[in-house]
């Protein structure tokens, strides 16, 4: 009755999904145990063989949930489906790490591609393309002149590799709003979040947080004290790659999830000190290039001056190269 299950040991803290039945149902009820302090609902389509269900807020971390759907068939038979899951902790476990330096002598241009590979492998269990292959596949999807992968291309190539991953980019006017939303989407989806840091020229993966998270993005109970970050560059310990930003420390912690204090996240240029810059100097020619979104779908400036994150919002209607539309509350 439920759609195919995802990871039941560190499930998303947002209960939502699709259901289907081989027989028409006259009614369907949803029961979540323990009962949350916000409403849950279930829908049934006109043919009475499928529908959706969801709860309006985030469940607590590390909580054992029983999700039960019951319905009555036209033959007055009661049909029941049960799923037991444990919601994710404050950090995801067993998230793989890949370097952006598959060629130690190459340029530092594959951070986003390596992060896409991390997400692909974590969410599907299948490592089907290295960073260079992801970059090759994603580059034609760019909606800008960015020498790497821009936000639209990153979201698009994630979905191209695995259609059940529905990542979109979201823009925020402040680093605080973007960071808060990143943590919310991490918990809501149970999937890593990509942050476009270093003024839009780097793409680390957020896999967890420390602090407290309320039942919604707007909940005043939310207090984020640090982020857990995997970094495709700063986790690379090969001496041959140390010439890239030697002022930034490397650590094996960035392969499993390094703790970045929120004050450092906001103050360090490597992270979210600076908003996305719509123009940069290319190392290849030393000239300033416009790397803001330039396909005229949105007015400019679009990414310029914003803080951008890329998240799985489970939106199957909106194309992955467009800006995310799901309200986060």
Residue 217 has pLDDT above 60, yes or no: yes
Please give the average per-residue pLDDT across 21-43, as a whole number: 94
Query: pLDDT band at residue 286, thresholds of 50, 70 and 90?
Result: confident
- CA distances to 177, 223, 327 from 220, rounded to whole Å, are 13, 8, 17
Q: Which domains, from first to last, does the chain contain?
A: 16-86 (2.60.40), 111-312 (3.90.70)
Burial 268-298 (b: 16+ CB within 10 A, else e): bebbbebbbebebeeeeeeeeeebbbbeeee
Determine the 3-state secondary structure of 199 from DSSP.
helix
Q: List, in sequence order, the alpha helices (H) in the chain.
A: 111-124, 131-138, 151-161, 175-189, 253-256, 262-267
Please give the average per-residue pLDDT across 166-170, as a whole number: 98
Mean residue pLDDT of the chain comes to: 95
User: Residue 240: what pLDDT?
Assistant: 96
Query: pLDDT band at residue 287, thresholds of 50, 70 and 90?
Result: confident
Q: Which of 14-28, 72-86, 259-273 has the highest mean pLDDT?
A: 259-273
| More confident: 254 or 73 | 254
Please name which of 119, 164, 118, 117 lies closest in space to residue 137, comparing C-alpha atoms. Answer: 117
Q: What does residue 245 show for φ and ψ, rounded to 5 degrees?
A: 45, 65
CA atoms of 169 and 172, how far apart (whole Å): 10
- CA distances to 27, 30, 79, 153 from 21, rounded to whole Å, are 12, 14, 9, 37
User: Residue 303: what pLDDT?
Assistant: 98
Please give the average per-residue pLDDT across 273-302, as a whole number: 93
Query: pLDDT band at residue 118, thresholds of 50, 70 and 90?
Result: very high
Query: pLDDT band at residue 5, thresholds of 50, 70 and 90?
Result: low
User: Residue 63: what pLDDT?
Assistant: 97
Check if the beta carbon of residue 216 is closer than 8 Å to that of residue 329.
Answer: yes
Query: pLDDT band at residue 131, thresholds of 50, 70 and 90?
Result: very high
User: Residue 75: what pLDDT?
Assistant: 84
Residue 206 has pLDDT above 90, yes or no: yes
Please give the average per-residue pLDDT across 274-301, as a whole number: 92
User: Residue 284: what pLDDT?
Assistant: 74
Determine the 3-state secondary structure of 60 from DSSP.
coil
Please name which of 136, 151, 108 lies closest in space to residue 291, comparing C-alpha atoms. Answer: 151
Please give the average per-residue pLDDT across 195-214, as a whole number: 97
User: Residue 117: what pLDDT?
Assistant: 98
User: Residue 101: what pLDDT?
Assistant: 98
User: Residue 297: what pLDDT?
Assistant: 98
User: Residue 4: what pLDDT?
Assistant: 59
pTM attached to this predicted model:
0.95
User: Residue 8: what pLDDT?
Assistant: 85
Determine the 3-state secondary structure of 187 from DSSP.
helix
User: Residue 76: what pLDDT?
Assistant: 86
Query: pLDDT band at residue 1, thresholds of 50, 70 and 90?
Result: low
User: What is the maximum alpha-carbon separation in the chain?
Assistant: 74
CA atoms of 196 and 183, how far apart (whole Å): 14
């Amino acid at each position: 009755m439920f759609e195919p299950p995802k990871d039941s040991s560190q499930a998303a803290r947002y209960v939502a999904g699709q259901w289907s039945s081989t027989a028409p149902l006259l009614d369907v009820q949803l029961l979540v145990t323990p009962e949350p302090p916000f409403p849950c609902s279930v829908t049934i389509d006109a043919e009475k063989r499928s529908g959706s269900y969801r709860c309006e807020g985030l469940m607590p971390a590390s909580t054992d949930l029983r999700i039960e759907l019951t319905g009555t068939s036209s033959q007055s038979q009661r049909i029941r489906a049960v799923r037991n899951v444990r919601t994710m902790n404050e950090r995801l476990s067993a998230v793989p790490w890949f370097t952006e330096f598959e060629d130690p002598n190459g340029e530092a241009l594959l951070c986003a591609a390596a992060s896409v590979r991390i997400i692909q492998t974590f969410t599907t269990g299948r490592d089907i393309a290295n960073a260079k292959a992801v970059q090759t596949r994603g580059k034609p999807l760019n909606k800008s002149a960015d020498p790497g992968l821009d936000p639209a291309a990153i979201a698009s190539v994630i979905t191209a590799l695995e259609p059940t991953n529905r990542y979109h980019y979201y823009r925020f006017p402040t680093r605080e709003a973007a960071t808060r939303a990143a943590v919310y989407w991490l918990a809501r989806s149970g999937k890593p979040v990509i942050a476009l840091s270093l003024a839009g020229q780097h793409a680390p993966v957020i896999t967890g947080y420390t602090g407290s998270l309320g039942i919604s993005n707007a909940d005043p109970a939310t207090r984020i004290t640090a982020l857990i970050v995997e970094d495709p560059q700063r986790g690379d310990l090969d001496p041959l790659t140390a010439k890239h930003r030697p002022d930034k420390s490397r650590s094996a912690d960035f392969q499993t999830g390094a703790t970045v204090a929120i004050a450092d996240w906001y103050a360090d240029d490597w992270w979210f000190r600076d908003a996305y810059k719509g123009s940069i100097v290319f190392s290849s020619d030393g000239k300033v290039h416009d790397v803001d979104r330039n396909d005229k779908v949105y007015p400019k400036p679009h990414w310029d001056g914003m803080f951008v994150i890329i998240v799985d919002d489970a939106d199957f209607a909106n194309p992955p190269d467009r800006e995310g539309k799901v309200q986060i509350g």
